[in-house]
Amino acid sequence: MEGQSYGYNIPVSERTKEVPWEEKVRIYEEVKSDFRFKEFLFGCLNCGACTASCPSNRFFDYSPREIVQRFMEEDIEVIYDMMHEYIWACSQCFTCWIRCPFVNNPGGLVIIMREVAVRNAFEATKDLLKPYGRVLLKVMTSGNQLSADMLQPDFFPDWGPKMLDNMQNLRAKRMAIPFDVGKSVKTAWEVSLETAMEMYTIWREAGIFEMLEKIDPNLYNVIMDIVEENEERWEELMEEED
C-alpha cells in the first residue's frame, strides 16, 4: 500500500480517489452515527498533547490530533483514506484520551473507524487480519490461544526487570490461580462449554461473526463448524439434564 502523508500535502491514495463520492459520504456518516462518537469528540484546540503523548506517533506516520482535526474539518476523503492504513498504526493505549485537556478520545474514534472498516469489508482489513488467522480461530472458538510459557523474555527485548520477575516460578504462580486453568504452564486451557456458549452469544449479538464472514469467508466457515459442533454438544447436554 502506498504511504500517506496528510497535513500540508494530502495525497490520498489512487484507490480512495476512484471510490464514488457518495460511498465515501456513506462511510463517513456510518462513523459519525456511531452512538459513541459524541462521547469521543467534543472540541479541539489542536494543542498537540495527544500526539506528543502517542507511542505510535514516535514510530509511524500517525497522529491522533490529525484524526480529530479531520473530523473537525469534515474531510470526508482523507477520513476514508485513513481507514485503509493510517488508523491501523494506533496501538489503542488511549494515552491520547487521558492526556487530552478537553477529554477527546482519538483512540476511541479509531475504534469506531476500525469497526466500520471491518463491517464494510475494506480490502485493508483483510490484509491486516491475514497474519492473525490462527489467533482468531483459537480465540473465537476456545476463548484462549496462549500457554503461559509462550511468553518468554527472548521474544520481548523491551521487557523491564519487573516483567522478568513475573516470569519466574511460573508453575507456582499458575497453581495459585483460584480457578481451573489446567494446572499447566505448557498448554492453554480450554474454557468450559458453558463459558464458550456465552462467548458465542457475545460474538453473535455484537455482529462479530458477520464481520468475519465478510472479511475472511474461509476462516469464518472453519470457525462456524467448531462453534456449531460445540453448540450441538451443549444442546445434547441440556437435553440430558432435562
E strand or H helix at 38: helix 37-40
What residue type is assigned to position 16 of the chain?
T
For the chain, the straight-line distance linking the first and the last C-alpha, in angstroms and rounded, comes to 56
Q: Which helix (H) or strand (E) holds 91?
A: none
For 62, 183, 194, 237, the CA distances from 113, given in Å and listed in that order, are: 14, 40, 33, 41
Q: In the complex, what is the shortest distance from the CB of residue 41 to another protein, in angstroms, rounded to a whole number? A: 13
Q: How many CB atoms lie within 10 A of CB 180?
A: 8
Q: 67 to each of 80, 83, 161, 190, how far by Cα in Å?
A: 11, 10, 35, 40
Window 144 to 163, contacts with another protein (CB under 8 A): none
**Least separation, in Å, of the C-beta of 50 and another protein?**
8
Window of 61-69, 76-84, 85-93, 140-148 that interacts with another protein by CB under 8 A: 61-69
Report how far residue 177's alpha carbon sits from residue 170's, in angstroms, rounded to the nearest whole number: 11
Question: Residue 10, interface with another protein (CB under 8 A)?
Answer: no
Selected binder of another protein within 20, 101, 131, 217 (CB under 8 A): 101
- Pick the stretch among 24-32, 50-58, 143-151, 234-242 that binds another protein (CB under 8 A): 50-58
Say whether residue 51 binds another protein (CB under 8 A): yes
Binding mask 21-40 for another protein (x = CB under 8 A): --------------------
Contact criterion met (CB below 8 Å) for 10 and 76: no
Residue 89 CB, nearest distance to another protein (Å)?
A: 14
**Interaction between residue 100 and another protein (CB under 8 A):** yes
Q: What is the DSSP string of 153-184?
A: GGG-TT--HHHHHHTTTHHHHHHHSSS-STT-
65-94 footprint of another protein as x/- string (CB under 8 A) = xx----------------------------
Which one of 46, 92, 169, 221 is in contact with another protein (CB under 8 A)? 46
Binding residues for another protein, per CB under 8 A? Answer: 7-8, 45-53, 57-58, 63, 65-66, 98-103
